[in-house]
Amino acid sequence: MITRRDAAIRLDIPLEMAQRNGIPTRISEAELDELDANPPAWLAQSRANRTGKKPVWVQLTCDICGYTEAARPKKWWPEFTYLSCDYHLAADLPLPAPTANRHEVDGIGSRFVGIVDELPG
């Protein structure tokens, strides 16, 4: 059995859509495979409407310890140079280029800090 969230990730749909369309809180692998292979009208329509420009889910990975989680990307996220768990020290990451300006972006996923190194110019 897998969770509704994991089912939404595998079907590449928002969690809200999975809940709204009756995917139970726990679903078997066989039931999920059947949904994927023979999508109901709402899932087929969702797939047909996808433009491919913005992913529904992204995989976040800590560049220090390797911890990963799937998250819904936000429009305000910049392009990250590094991602780290919020309890790691900035000193655990490689130093920025001598002319780069480094800043941190909190609140990425459930426990990540995004590191952005910007070069002037």
Looking at the fold, whether 14 and 36 belong to one and the same domain comes out as: yes
Total domains, the chain: 2
Average pLDDT over residues 13-39: 92
pTM of the model: 0.74
Higher-pLDDT residue of 95 and 54 is: 95
**Listed residue (93, 99, 80, 117) closest to 107, CA to CA:** 80
43 with 63, same domain?
no
pLDDT category at 40 given cuts 50, 70, 90 is very high
Same domain? 73 vs 32: no
- Assess whether 32 and 69 both reside in one domain: no
Residue 81 lies in domain: 58-118
pLDDT tens digits, one per residue of 50-86: 776 778 899 999 999 999 999 999 988 999 999 999 9
Checking phi first, is residue 56 left (phi over 0); if not, alpha (psi -120 to 50) or beta? Answer: alpha
pLDDT band of 16, cuts 50, 70, 90: very high
Per-residue pLDDT, 47: 84
